Structure 1
Amino acid sequence: MPFADWTFWKYISSVVDILVVWYVIYKLINLIRGTKAVQLLKGILVILIVRVASDFFGLTTLSWMMQQVITYGFLAVIIIFQPELRRALEQLGRGKFFSRSTGVVDNEQEKTVEAIIKATDYMAKRRIGALISIERETGMSDYIETGIALNSHISSELLINIFIPNTPLHDGAVIIQKNNVAAAACYLPLSESPFISKELGTRHRAALGISEVTDSITVVVSEETGNISLTKNGELHRDIKVEGLRELLTDELLNHNKPKQASSARWNWRGKSNG
């Protein structure tokens, strides 16, 4: 039955076509997930929705404006997404674009948390200043590029050695990306909030600044007092004990997909006077 065979193979071809397109879109989403490009894509989606709505309601002028934006926006998209496109082409050239992606393993997250806690405890007791920022959903590639690339497996010994005074990498922030030390000596944006205590130094302001523009979690060790602080979503919690730090990091990095429970630690902007 030639006709039946043709119909069958056409059906199979259509299914394969859909699966391939779905996989490519999936990989593209994974590529830009956690970067600023996600917000730009949301803006493009809004423009498309406005374009369709303006046609539906007969808003001629608005429809014409949206059409111009879409027509000439292609070049703008290429310019805006230039870092992501470059990264995609690099991965394609290395054969990594179609490689199997693996999720974050809880065991690796636990090792990351333990390494940070151990290093922080060591540095706090010796009053070694430190600034450690952990990337989450919002990408921090822009800030990683300001530092010295390491791409190293995380360990407490590595973190401690980075922040030893008078070493080449001690001045700046360490950024942890996908359970690896991505870079050291990174520059983070300083918070311009007028409500920050005047006694807080550059490290605390940088920790608050990065928490205001990303969803990262940043741990700070004060060089003057040895106190431990943590920032998240523009909030600063000061004078944390080691067990409190363990609880907060575990809750945010390991239990983020589980129902949130009331934490014994309280987020506090102004905190105590001896930060």
Structure 2
Amino acid sequence: MGSIDYGDLIRYGIDILLVSYVIYKLIMLIRGTRAVQLLKGIMVIVVTWLLSKYFELTTLHWMMSQAFTFGVLALVIIFQPELRRALEQLGRGKLFSRTHTSQDDDTLRRMVQEVGKSITYMAKRRIGALIVIERETGLNDYVETGIAINGRVSSELLINIFIPNTPLHDGAVILRKDTVLAAGCYLPLSENTSISKELGTRHRAAIGMSEVSDGVSVVVSEETGQVSFALNGEVRRNLTEEQLTELLLEHLSPPSKGKSMASRWQWRRKHG
């Protein structure tokens, strides 16, 4: 029995850890996007190919083999938004580092407060509004459909954008951290047939956006002044400013800090 080469074991161990980490980051990258459903479809094709080979189903096996032949090009086309986002994050040095500092917390709190103030103002006056806040899934494709703003988030700016009969009021505003990226953006409408008939185009756009990305959407109804919050294809309606702020802090903060930030904000509100 030969001696154990500990150098090779260490090298293999490092190799496995690196590959595992890359796979983990790729999974986190596509989490909450349409790529998850597409990957399930790919798994069905792979299983079909294996079964056709095992049971010697010649014609079906040939068809699956052709699908693999042209599959690489198809994957590049289908996953183009996700691939572009991954390359952008790699270029910015963000793919392998996700640090969260106290400065990020301060920025998030300020942004949430400004959004909350603007939503409260518009809800009281029944000014229709739709605000989308980007999380992990890049929204550049939708940003490009609107008018670039690239200004710091403030309640005054958001209110002015949605004032009726102004050039940018009819569309969505997209935020990234504390920056208003664009206004007047077009969003995909949800095709979910179970959505209440009471909900109009803004709500359907908010839900549709939450179905194709992990971003959060905030809606003010022009008819009722009700405030709604959409995430993961679901909508919560008739929210107060406090409830909206807690939801934003909870879902925009890192998983380990979201609820604690929301509870701290609530404690500060109660104790002045």
TM-score by length of 2: 0.69
CA contact (8 A) 1:174 1:184 kept: yes
Aligned to 2:270: none
- How many angstroms apart in 2 are the aligned matches of 1:232 and 1:26? 23
Aligned to 2:269: none
Aligned to 1:73: 71
Aligned to 1:263: none
Give the paired residue count. 254
CA contact (8 A) 2:189 2:204 kept: yes
User: What is the one-letter code of the residue matched to 1:25?
Assistant: I
CA contact (8 A) 2:33 2:214 kept: no
- How many angstroms apart in 2 are the aligned matches of 1:171 and 1:64? 51
Aligned to 2:30: 32
- How many angstroms apart in 2 are the aligned matches of 1:235 and 1:21? 35
Aligned to 1:117: 116
Q: Secondary structure at the match of 1:133?
A: strand
The Cα shift of 1:66 comes to 1.9
CA contact (8 A) 2:228 2:235 kept: yes
* Structure 2: segments with no counterpart, 5+ residues: 260-272
Q: Does structure 1 residue 100 correspond to structure 2 residue 100?
A: no
Alignment of 1:242-253 (within 5 A): 242-246=241-245, 249=248
The Cα shift of 1:254 comes to 6.4
Q: Secondary structure at the match of 2:5?
A: helix
The Cα shift of 1:147 comes to 2.2
User: What is the one-letter code of the residue matched to 2:172?
Assistant: A
User: What is the one-letter code of the residue matched to 1:222?
Assistant: S
- How many angstroms apart in 2 are the aligned matches of 1:63 and 1:75? 20
Aligned to 1:42: 40
Q: Flag the 1:109–1:223 CA change in 2: closer, same or farther, 3 A.
A: same
1:236-255 per-residue CA deviation (whole Å, 9 max, x = no partner) reads 55544434544655666569
The Cα shift of 1:233 comes to 5.4
User: What is the one-letter code of the residue matched to 2:73?
Assistant: L
Higher mean alpha-carbon deviation, 77-86 vs 228-237, is at: 228-237
Q: Secondary structure at the match of 1:170?
A: coil
User: What is the one-letter code of the residue matched to 1:96?
Assistant: G
* Structure 1: segments with no counterpart, 5+ residues: 261-275
Q: Secondary structure at the match of 1:86?
A: helix
Aligned to 1:222: 221
- How many angstroms apart in 1 are the aligned matches of 2:204 and 2:92? 41
The Cα shift of 1:76 comes to 1.2
- How many angstroms apart in 1 are the aligned matches of 2:197 and 2:135? 27
- How many angstroms apart in 2 are the aligned matches of 1:98 and 1:191? 30
Aligned to 1:129: 128
Higher mean alpha-carbon deviation, 168-177 vs 99-108, is at: 99-108
The Cα shift of 1:234 comes to 5.2
The Cα shift of 1:116 comes to 2.6
Q: Does structure 1 residue 173 correspond to structure 2 residue 168?
A: no
The Cα shift of 1:117 comes to 2.0
Q: Secondary structure at the match of 1:51?
A: helix
- How many angstroms apart in 2 are the aligned matches of 1:99 and 1:187? 32
The Cα shift of 1:120 comes to 0.6
User: What is the one-letter code of the residue matched to 1:10?
Assistant: D
CA contact (8 A) 1:35 1:140 kept: no
Q: Secondary structure at the match of 1:101?
A: coil
Q: Secondary structure at the match of 1:159?
A: helix
**Which of 49, 52, 72 pairs up with 1:51?**
49
CA contact (8 A) 2:33 2:213 kept: no
The Cα shift of 1:131 comes to 0.7
Aligned to 1:156: 155
Higher mean alpha-carbon deviation, 168-177 vs 205-214, is at: 205-214
Alignment of 1:138-157 (within 5 A): 140-150=139-149, 154-157=153-156
User: What is the one-letter code of the residue matched to 1:123?
Assistant: M
Q: Secondary structure at the match of 2:202?
A: helix
1:153-190 per-residue CA deviation (whole Å, 9 max, x = no partner) reads 54434433432445543331123445654432211233
